[in-house]
């Protein structure tokens, strides 16, 4: 008889998360009938009590904001990738009871770019300086051979991005958000800001843009992504990132060699399209 295995995504807010759709689609395609994947509204204060209630049926957890750093003290070890940005979005519970943290956002970003033929660029730009921007910097440390310019709103954010650059071995240069249109001169632009933040920049997309990686997936397309596509530029979206990082989570949690990427993407697209 098969043993029931549980996994879930935690965060606050969490109701919008597409993770259950993607993981459940993967389980069905892989024939993992005894596996379940749920979502739980959990904030930083609620994380330790949640962990205290977990039993051996649990295989893993996906973590979103604001838990990616808060979870680290609760773990037995974290991967080098997670340590590089001090952020864990994946927890795997091993057979011997250890709690192992990992970060699939970074390799997920790289895989999403590789899927669109972006293997190497000589410079890049990042719009924003939050937690996702640090993951973007970590991904760019493996893709970009030259400088990365971060467009930020405050000197504090500028200092943070410079510190991340030093830590990750990236030549980070900072510019004020007021000059964000200049980002579009780079062959690769990564937009990491909340919904609506880049809408005013859509009119500034050049005649021949390079590649835009916009980490949002709902609403989609963003005004910037739509303008970019209209100009003939290549666009990598938040769903691409979400699917690739979720596929890696499925592989780590279940032990399956290859997650069904196409099935997961189709499930995500269907969910976003609505009834």
Assess whether the previous peptide bond of 3 is cis (omega < 30° from 0). Answer: no
- CA-based torsion, 240, 244, 246, 250: positive or negative: positive
68, 157, 244, 252: the catalytic one is: 68
As a 3-state breakdown, the chain gives helix, strand, coil percent values, each rounded to 5, of 40, 20, 35
- 202 by Cβ neighbours in 10 Å (0-12 / 13-18 / 19+) ranks as middle
- 16 by Cβ neighbours in 10 Å (0-12 / 13-18 / 19+) ranks as exposed
Does an H or E element contain 63, and which? Answer: strand 58-63
CA distances in angstroms from 44 to 32, 47, 63, 66, 69, listed in the order given: 31, 5, 11, 7, 9
Whether 68 is a known active-site residue: answer yes
Spatial distance between the Cα atoms of 126 and 19, rounded to a whole number of angstroms: 25
User: Helix (H, G, I), strand (E, B), or coil: what is residue 269?
Assistant: helix
- 37 by Cβ neighbours in 10 Å (0-12 / 13-18 / 19+) ranks as buried
The residues assigned a catalytic role are: 68
């Amino acid at each position: 008889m098969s043993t029931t295995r549980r996994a879930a995504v935690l965060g606050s807010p969490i109701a919008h998360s597409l993770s259950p759709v993607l993981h459940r689609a993967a389980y069905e395609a892989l024939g993992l009938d005894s596996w379940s994947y749920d979502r739980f509204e959990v904030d930083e204060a609620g994380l330790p009590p949640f962990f205290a209630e977990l039993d051996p049926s649990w295989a893993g957890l996906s973590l979103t904001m604001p838990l990616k750093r808060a979870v680290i003290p609760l773990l037995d070890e974290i991967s080098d990738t997670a340590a590089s940005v001090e952020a864990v979005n994946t927890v795997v519970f091993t057979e011997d009871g250890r709690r192992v943290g990992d970060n699939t956002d970074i390799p997920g970003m790289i895989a999403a770019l590789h899927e669109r033929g972006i293997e190497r660029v000589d410079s890049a730009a990042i719009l924003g300086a939050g937690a996702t921007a640090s993951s973007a910097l970590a991904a760019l440390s493996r893709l970009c051979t030259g400088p990365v310019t971060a467009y930020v709103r405050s000197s504090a954010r500028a200092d943070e991005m410079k510190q991340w650059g030093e830590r990750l071995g990236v030549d980070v240069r900072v510019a004020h958000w007021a000059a964000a249109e200049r980002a579009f001169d780079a062959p690769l632009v990564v937009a990491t800001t909340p919904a609506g933040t880049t809408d005013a920049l859509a009119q500034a997309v050049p005649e021949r843009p390079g590649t835009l990686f916009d980490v949002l997936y709902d609403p989609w397309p963003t005004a910037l992504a739509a303008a970019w596509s209209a100009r003939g530029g290549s666009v990598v979206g938040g769903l691409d990132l979400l699917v690739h990082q979720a596929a890696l989570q499925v592989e780590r949690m279940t032990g399956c060699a290859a997650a069904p990427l196409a099935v997961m993407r189709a499930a995500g697209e269907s969910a976003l399209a609505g009834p």
